[in-house]
Structure 1
Amino acid sequence: MKDVILGIDIGGTNTKYGFLDRDGISLAHGEISTTSGDTVHDFLRDFYQEVHAKFRKIEDEARLIGIGVGAPNGNFYTGTIENAPNLKWHGSVPLAELLQTYFKVPVYLTNDANAAAIGEMIYGGAKNMKNFVVVTLGTGLGSGIVVNGDLVYGDDGNAGELGHTLTNVKGTGRVCGCGRRGCLETYVSATGIKRTIYKLLADSIDYSELRGVSFNDLTAEMVTQAAKRGDKIAIDAFEYTGKVLGVKLADTVAHLSPEAIFLFGGLVRAEEFLFDPVRYHLEKNLLPIFKGKVKVLPSGLGLNNTAVMGAAALAWKELER
């Protein structure tokens, strides 16, 4: 019988899950709406019924030994989700404790970017690395930091908020959902590149296939495909996005001296349109002692089921300590 971990990725709309063995192979997987029911208790009741039914199909070959959860605003130390703006469960939600009452196995929870970093270390491109950073480029910008082989959680479990470091210290930058101005994720994220597109369109009369698209309808994938078709506005948007990220990552290197920085998420599909400016502006702004030493790489996890793999990797790592 094979030991498996239940990896759970909680998103604002859907929650994905999978039963993964130590090699990252999924024996069964699925998803459920995160918005089912009015409370977290309603969600967990529906989630348990769905997952239990799925597990019964593999229980002759698998033994569940733990659960790993990646969630927005997930705190590893407390096992709670704390005031996540994209979830309908308000306040501090003791999700690890609640899951344990259902499944009767150890539960480990962290934020989604930290889970991605652990997944990179166990299943991805950082298998033989001790010092690296994972930057997740989704609706916002998250980051997971690994130093000497251990994830950095900080004093209260909230370390690694690179997306909320400031790129505009004069206080006139873009307004962020956190209430401040100039946070990195307002420029470097799926939402950030949309804002950049509309700024470029307003300041230019150049033709762009994106000019007739409303803000609500525009997606980062549309910007990526436009850039690959040679759209100047889209290409300029990635150039600007890459410059902002590259400059900011130079600060990250000064703090941490990582071997590599992995970029993870939908914007990575833009390939060289994103990576070329990031690498150029990172190298240009590095201290001399770091030049030529830091690699900028796409995630080695690919784009399929990666968040679930990262969550499962968290549990494997903690159970093997």
Structure 2
Amino acid sequence: MKDVILGIDIGGTNTKFGFLDRDGISLTQGEISTAEGETVHDFLRLFYQEVQAKFKKIEDEARLIGVGVGAPNGNFYTGTIENAPNLKWHGSVPLVELLQSYFKLPVFLTNDANAAAIGEMIYGGAKNMKNFVVVTLGTGLGSGIVVNGELVYGADGNAGELGHTLVNVKGSGRVCGCGRRGCLETYVSATGIKRTVYKFLADYTDYSELRGVSFNDLTAEMITQAAKRGDKIAIDCFEYTGKVLGMKLADTVAHLSPEAIFLFGGLVRAEELLFDPVRYHLEKNLLSIFKGKVKILPSGLGLNNTAVMGAAALAWKEMER
């Protein structure tokens, strides 16, 4: 019988999970809307039912030995989710304690981007790297930082909030879910690029297939596909998004001097429409001693279950210490 870890990725829109062995191979996986239920207790009850239904398919060949979770504002030290702006569960949520009451197994929690960084280090493109950054481009923007082969948690477990560094410091920036204005994730994320599309549609008269789509119906995937079909507004939005991200990553390089920065999430499906402007504006804004040294790469884990693999890798890593 094979030992497996339940990897859980709690996103602002959906929560994905999978049962993974030590080599990162998923035996089965599933998904549930993070908006299910009125409270975190309602959500976890429904989530547990979904997990149990999936596990029944493999229970004859697998033994569940632990749980790893990546979540917005997940704190490795305290086992809590702290005031996550993209989740409807407010305040401090004792997620590890709650999950342990269901699974009766070791549970490990960290920021969703930190989990992705651990997955990248163990299973992905950063296997032989000691200094790198992973940037997650989902509903919000997160980042996981690895220095000298170790994930950086900081003094209180909250290090790596690149999404809440400021782009617009004049007080007129976009309102963020955290309560401030001008945060990077309001410009660079699936939600951020939607806001950019609507600003560009208002500011320019160019034809765009996106003009007839309501804000609530618009998705990052629709913007990506429109750009790939040559829609000028969509292309310009990716150029703008890449410019902002490249500029801010130049600051990150000045702080950390990483070997590489990995990007993953829905926006990465735009491929060079995003990567080209990011690379250009990174180089343009780098201090001269860093120019030509830092690679911008897509995640080596693919696009489908990267965060789930990272969450499982977290648990494997901690259980093997």
Give the TM-score of the pair, scaled to structure 1: 0.94
Structure 2 CA distance for aligned equivalents of residues 104 and 13 of structure 1: 27
Q: For each residue in 1:209-239, what CA deviation from the matched residue of structure 2 results, as whole angstroms up to 9, or x when unmatched? A: 2223222222211211111111111111111
Aligned 8 A contact 2:12 2:139 in 1 = no
**Residues 49-88 of structure 1 mapped to structure 2, 5 A cutoff:** 49-88=49-88
SS at match of 1:178: coil
Aligned 8 A contact 2:134 2:261 in 1 = yes
2:2 maps to 2
Residues 36, 203 of structure 1: CA spacing in aligned structure 2 closer, same or farther, 3 A cutoff? closer
Deviation at 1:191, TM superposition (A): 1.6
Deviation at 1:30, TM superposition (A): 2.2
Question: Is residue 119 from structure 1 mapped to residue 136 from structure 2 by the alignment?
Answer: no
Deviation at 1:23, TM superposition (A): 0.8
SS at match of 2:199: helix
Deviation at 1:53, TM superposition (A): 4.4
| Further displaced range: 219-228 or 83-92 | 83-92
Residues 46, 259 of structure 1: CA spacing in aligned structure 2 closer, same or farther, 3 A cutoff? same
SS at match of 2:297: strand
Residues 236, 23 of structure 1: CA spacing in aligned structure 2 closer, same or farther, 3 A cutoff? same
SS at match of 1:193: helix
| Further displaced range: 228-237 or 240-249 | 228-237
| Further displaced range: 35-44 or 186-195 | 35-44
Structure 1 CA distance for aligned equivalents of residues 79 and 175 of structure 2: 30
Structure 2 CA distance for aligned equivalents of residues 77 and 200 of structure 1: 42
Q: Deviation above 6 Å: which 4+ runs of structure 1?
A: none
Structure 1 CA distance for aligned equivalents of residues 177 and 243 of structure 2: 22
Q: For each residue in 1:138-190, what CA deviation from the matched residue of structure 2 results, as whole angstroms up to 9, or x when unmatched? A: 12111111111111111111111101101122222222221211111111111
Q: For each residue in 1:244-297, what CA deviation from the matched residue of structure 2 results, as whole angstroms up to 9, or x when unmatched? A: 111110000000000100111111111111111110110111111111110000
Aligned 8 A contact 2:86 2:139 in 1 = no
Structure 2 CA distance for aligned equivalents of residues 183 and 82 of structure 1: 18
Aligned 8 A contact 2:79 2:95 in 1 = yes
Residues 318, 61 of structure 1: CA spacing in aligned structure 2 closer, same or farther, 3 A cutoff? same
Aligned 8 A contact 2:140 2:189 in 1 = yes
Residues 13, 220 of structure 1: CA spacing in aligned structure 2 closer, same or farther, 3 A cutoff? closer
Residues 133, 46 of structure 1: CA spacing in aligned structure 2 closer, same or farther, 3 A cutoff? same
Deviation at 1:46, TM superposition (A): 3.7
Aligned 8 A contact 2:13 2:139 in 1 = no
Deviation at 1:302, TM superposition (A): 1.0
Unaligned 5+ runs, structure 1: none
Alignment size in residue pairs:
321
| Further displaced range: 71-80 or 8-17 | 8-17
Structure 2 CA distance for aligned equivalents of residues 177 and 133 of structure 1: 23
2:228 maps to 228
Residues 211, 315 of structure 1: CA spacing in aligned structure 2 closer, same or farther, 3 A cutoff? same
**Residues 206-285 of structure 1 mapped to structure 2, 5 A cutoff:** 206-285=206-285
Structure 2 CA distance for aligned equivalents of residues 245 and 230 of structure 1: 22
SS at match of 2:130: coil
Residues 226, 46 of structure 1: CA spacing in aligned structure 2 closer, same or farther, 3 A cutoff? closer
Structure 2 CA distance for aligned equivalents of residues 34 and 101 of structure 1: 19
Structure 2 CA distance for aligned equivalents of residues 216 and 44 of structure 1: 26
| Further displaced range: 75-84 or 247-256 | 75-84
Residues 39, 190 of structure 1: CA spacing in aligned structure 2 closer, same or farther, 3 A cutoff? closer
Residues 15, 239 of structure 1: CA spacing in aligned structure 2 closer, same or farther, 3 A cutoff? closer
Residues 201, 250 of structure 1: CA spacing in aligned structure 2 closer, same or farther, 3 A cutoff? same
Deviation at 1:94, TM superposition (A): 1.2
Residues 50, 228 of structure 1: CA spacing in aligned structure 2 closer, same or farther, 3 A cutoff? closer
Deviation at 1:315, TM superposition (A): 0.5
Residues 270, 31 of structure 1: CA spacing in aligned structure 2 closer, same or farther, 3 A cutoff? closer
Deviation at 1:32, TM superposition (A): 3.6
Deviation at 1:36, TM superposition (A): 4.3
Residues 205, 36 of structure 1: CA spacing in aligned structure 2 closer, same or farther, 3 A cutoff? closer
Deviation at 1:43, TM superposition (A): 3.4
Q: For each residue in 1:96-115, what CA deviation from the matched residue of structure 2 results, as whole angstroms up to 9, or x when unmatched? A: 12222332221100121111
| Further displaced range: 271-280 or 87-96 | 87-96
| Further displaced range: 123-132 or 101-110 | 101-110
Aligned 8 A contact 2:260 2:295 in 1 = yes
Deviation at 1:52, TM superposition (A): 3.4
Deviation at 1:56, TM superposition (A): 4.1
Unaligned 5+ runs, structure 2: none
Cα root mean square deviation, aligned = 1.8
Deviation at 1:35, TM superposition (A): 4.3
Aligned 8 A contact 2:239 2:277 in 1 = yes
Residues 211, 37 of structure 1: CA spacing in aligned structure 2 closer, same or farther, 3 A cutoff? closer
